Structure 1
Amino acid sequence: MMFLIYFAYEAFLAYVILQELGGGIDALVASRCALAAVMIFLTFLFFQSMRIKDLKSQRTILKGVFIGWASICVTLIIVTPDSIYFTVLTGLASVISLLSSIGLIKKISEERNSLTDKEIYLLQKLAKKK
């Protein structure tokens, strides 16, 4: 969220300054707005993926979030190499997404090896019939 606020603030400031100077939308303003929008989208996806019950779908979404954060990190390295703080923070966000995705692999294998409540109920019902 801190990234989002920072880039939205920078985009707003650049937009206001350009409007005062009488110019249109500059590439700097557009790139800052795009970075803020992508960050909003990725943060929303990360939190929404936790609500999904299907672990495989959740893992797929987290992989996408990881790719998004990693691409933002690489973009920040290319565009603003002097801004180490934000580069490290976006890199940290991508690592957190990757670790969450890796953690889901263990949950998926545990789920595959265990029975659901419905399967247990049906097995108990079948055992009572015999």
Structure 2
Amino acid sequence: MDFTKPRNSFLFTLLLILSTITYAVLDDRWRNFGINKTVGNAWDLNFTSITPVLSVLVLLISFLSYGIMWFFDLKLNKTFALFNLAFLIPCVGMMGTGLQFGYSLFALLMLAINIAYGIRTKKYDKKQNLQ
């Protein structure tokens, strides 16, 4: 796969989203909830922290960003794209651990660097064409 094109990163991120949805549907621990009637019918959910939500949020942000970069035909840095996707895989795989927060932050950092690189190369190419 050529990871200098946003299309491949976009499709790989789509594959990660589909595998996350499949995991969430097949996993039974997400369905554990109850009603606590002693506190006035308060819902007692099993979500102990925000890390699973952060993982899905990072995945969706990456998906949308690569889609936008593909639409505007921006070039990606191959190294940063591979690092971003390499951090997204454990980010999705370890949704309940503390390490997942670090992987999410690194994935967002690599995505931001890759977006900046794509915009910079697009502007540089326009300057070269004008001269």
Asked if Structure 1 and Structure 2 have the same fold, meaning a TM-score greater than 0.5 normalized by the shorter chain, the answer is no
Structure of greater Rg: 1
Structure number having the greater helix percentage: 1
Greater relative CO (CA pairs within 8 A, separation 6+)? 2
Give the TM-score normalised by the residue count of structure 2: 0.42
